[in-house]
A and B are shown apart, each in its own frame.
Chain A
Amino acid sequence: MEVNWLIILDFIPQLIKGAQVTIHITVVGLLGGVILGAIAGLMRAYGNALINAIAFVYIEVIRGTPIVVQVMFLYFALPVLASIRIDPMTTAILAIVINAGAYIAEIVRGAVLSISKGLTEAGLAIGLPRWKVIVHIVGPLAFRRLIPPLGNQFIVSLKDTSLFIVIGVGELTRTGQEIMAANFRAVEIWTAVAIMYLIMTGVLSLALRMIEKRMRIL
């Protein structure tokens, strides 16, 4: 079979639909992941021994297992264990929330702990409650250090969505595979799929680069 690049044009609408699903999972999943990660990271940085231990176990379990196993567990094991059945799309989003949350927790913890203890003490010493020290002093400083590693995690999570092919979510990779199964145009389709991922990660990188510049991180 000869390589015919024009054939891609026929499948662009379908691929865009797949990419939309990818973006949907990524955006909603990361939104949840950032919230979960911020909570778990703050638990690690500021919690007492028990709270710290809870967050620690969560983070280590997730970082120590492959995301595919986590997805399989959510989709196939959870219904057996707890009779909770969730649809593939929800499973996919939940998997990103839980998985990204663990990595983001470590990012948040690292950023918070990188802010000198002296600044926290200076804040406390003028009579601020601890939450105000976190919100007004440590938070804004930690946030600047957060952006680069956070951006990295966003890109990783975006690409991780391709793994949801295993539970049949119609995201970009799955779409590519379905098209290919019908016409065997491997070179054209996988090139197109790769380029679409590159466009998405590229836009994300660019946006992050702009935020970093704005915040004078570099």
Chain B
Amino acid sequence: MNDAIIQFRNVSKHFGPLKVLDEVDLDIHKGEVVVLVGPSGSGKSTLLRCINGLEQITGGDLIVNGMSVLGGNKVMREIRQEAGMVFQQFNLFPQMTALQNVAFGPQQVRGLSRSDARELAKELLAKVGLAEKANHEPSELSGGQQQRVAIARALAIKPKVMLFDEPTSALDPELKQEVLNVMRALAGEGMTMVVVTHEMGFAKQVGTRLIFMEHGKIAVDGTPRDVIDNPPNDRMKDFLQHV
């Protein structure tokens, strides 16, 4: 019996002839905050995107909350409701206000009434510190604010896991912290998180586990403090010097 909420079973991912994930085995358990690092092109985004089916695996199996990503469209949509995603480029719906962005998922996907969805959206916007921006459109918000709305939007479908793909990479240094603070609070509530990031401070402080990827394989898997303070191999040491 395996109680991991995310189970990679010998997962491979090819783009044509290019093998981007190479027979990955990985279990992620409830409450873990897994920080994913590695050189550009090593397959971090791909690994993350396989979990919610934005990329289709080409080998092995991947189980999310008991459901296989190979289970077809309907199962995939259920998986996506259990695995919220936050993108580097925020990707807020530009024709909607912050509130509408957040309320849209619960209403369309979870079947909440319009007023319940708006109530929930208000709560979540307050939680990410943007209650007073509810009626602003994305173009009227700073990058950090947009990303916080995006986090609220992902949380609104009540996922069991949150996936972050370089959530602060597109932000100015002074705006990174407000997003990292929201993520820190989320981890504090026990949310299971998989985070691709270059923020080593965040990794050390919030991460419960750090994975270093290389050429589509998991090269290092340990606790952030151990791995960062004593890199187990030269390539990881080299990588850490450059972030």
Residues of B within 8 A of A127 (CB): 77-78, 80-81, 105, 109, 157
Annotate B38-82 by CB proximity to A: 1 below 8 A, 0 otherwise: 000000000000001110000000000000000001000110110
Q: Which of the four size classes fits the interface of chain B?
A: 20 to 34
Given known A-B contacts A126-B109, A129-B73, A118 and B93 have beta carbons under 8 A apart: no
Cα of A133 to Cα of B54 in the assembled complex, Å: 14
Cα of A203 to Cα of B73 in the assembled complex, Å: 47
Residues of A within 8 A of B95 (CB): 140-141
Contact A122–B109 (Cβ < 8 Å) = no
Task: Name, among B52, B53, B78, B156, the residue most crowded by chain A CB atoms within 10 Å (CB to CB).
Answer: B52
Given known A-B contacts A127-B109, A136-B108, A122 and B91 have beta carbons under 8 A apart: yes
Contact A121–B87 (Cβ < 8 Å) = yes
Annotate A122-150 by CB proximity to B: 1 below 8 A, 0 otherwise: 11111111001000110011000000000
Chain A CB within 8 A of B85 CB: yes
Contact of A125 among B78, B80, B92 (CB under 8 A): B80
Which label, helix, strand, loop or mixed, suits the secondary structure of the A interface? Answer: helix
Contact of A126 among B73, B94, B154 (CB under 8 A): B154
Contact B93–A126 (Cβ < 8 Å) = no
Contact B84–A118 (Cβ < 8 Å) = no
Residues of A within 8 A of B91 (CB): 116, 118-119, 121-122
Chain A CB within 8 A of B153 CB: yes
Chain A's closest residue to B88 (CB) is A118
Chain B's closest residue to A118 (CB) is B91
How far apart are B112's CB and chain A's nearest CB, in angstroms? 13
* Among all A-B residue pairs, the 6 with the closest Cβ atoms: A122-B91, A126-B105, A118-B91, A127-B80, A127-B81, A125-B85
Q: Which residues of B are at the interface with A, using a C-beta cutoff of 8 A? A: 52-54, 73, 77-78, 80-81, 84-85, 87, 89, 91-95, 104-105, 108-109, 150, 153-154, 156-157
Pull 14 A–B residue pairs with CB atoms less than 8 Å apart, ordered by A. A121-B87, A122-B153, A125-B80, A126-B84, A126-B104, A126-B109, A126-B154, A127-B77, A127-B81, A127-B157, A128-B108, A129-B77, A137-B93, A141-B95
Q: Which residues of A are at the interface with B, using a C-beta cutoff of 8 A? A: 116, 118-119, 121-129, 132, 136-137, 140-141
